[in-house]
């Protein structure tokens, strides 16, 4: 699914600067930084540019999620239309929160940093907000998790392809 989303963005935004595409892809839930780094690599952006634009793109929503998601969810749960959607999102997110509850800072950092399906800055920030983890603890954990994720994704998307191409 993430591949389809990345492809859609790259086709829809064809003609726009690749830095902008990487930035926007990194802001989108589900694909986030992982998708942005893959897109950067596919568009042959230099590593430093891919990292810069993807990190900034994925970092922008984090403070807003940490500050505003619980009041927004509370307001949406008062409506018949959105209550089931919000409750499902909360249930799904909190279902992944066991390690974060147990280890807080380190659990959140690893949850965001290990690039697996259903993890990342958006979900990590949502879980931190729902668990009422203090902003001053959650924000650095999410940002350091993004540093870990970008490192792993750069190895997968830039270094390994370079290594294979060099060996051929």
Q: Is residue 66 in a domain?
A: yes
123 shares a domain with 77: yes
> Is residue 1 very low, low, confident or very high in pLDDT (cuts 50, 70, 90)?
low
3-class SS at 119?
Answer: coil
SS (H, E, C) 39-57: HHHHCCCCHHHHHHHHHHH
pLDDT tens readout for residues 3-33: 676 677 668 877 889 999 999 999 998 899 9
How many domains does the chain contain in total? 2
41 shares a domain with 27: yes
43 shares a domain with 19: yes
Nearest to 89 by CA among 134, 126, 117, 62: 126
> What is the spatial distance between Cα 69 and Cα 49, in angstroms, rounded to a whole number?
30
Q: Is residue 156 in a domain?
A: no
> What is the spatial distance between Cα 5 and Cα 24, in angstroms, rounded to a whole number?
12
User: What domain range includes position 76?
Assistant: 61-147
77 shares a domain with 14: no
Q: Is residue 159 in a domain?
A: no
* pTM, to two decimals: 0.86
């Amino acid at each position: 699914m993430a591949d389809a989303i990345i492809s859609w963005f790259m086709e829809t935004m064809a003609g726009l600067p690749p830095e902008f595409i990487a930035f926007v892809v990194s802001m989108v839930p589900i694909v986030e930084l992982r998708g942005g780094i893959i897109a950067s690599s596919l568009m042959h952006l230099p590593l430093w540019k891919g990292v810069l634009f993807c990190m900034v793109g994925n970092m922008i929503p984090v403070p807003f999620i940490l500050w505003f998601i619980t009041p927004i969810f509370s307001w949406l749960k008062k409506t018949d239309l959105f209550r089931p959607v919000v409750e499902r999102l909360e249930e799904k997110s909190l279902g992944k929160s066991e390690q974060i509850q147990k280890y807080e800072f380190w659990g959140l950092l690893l949850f965001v940093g290990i690039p697996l399906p259903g993890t990342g800055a958006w979900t990590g920030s949502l879980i931190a907000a729902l668990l009422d983890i203090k902003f001053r603890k959650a924000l650095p954990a999410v940002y350091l998790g993004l540093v870990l994720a970008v490192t792993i994704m750069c190895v997968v998307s830039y270094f390994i392809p370079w290594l294979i191409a060099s060996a051929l």
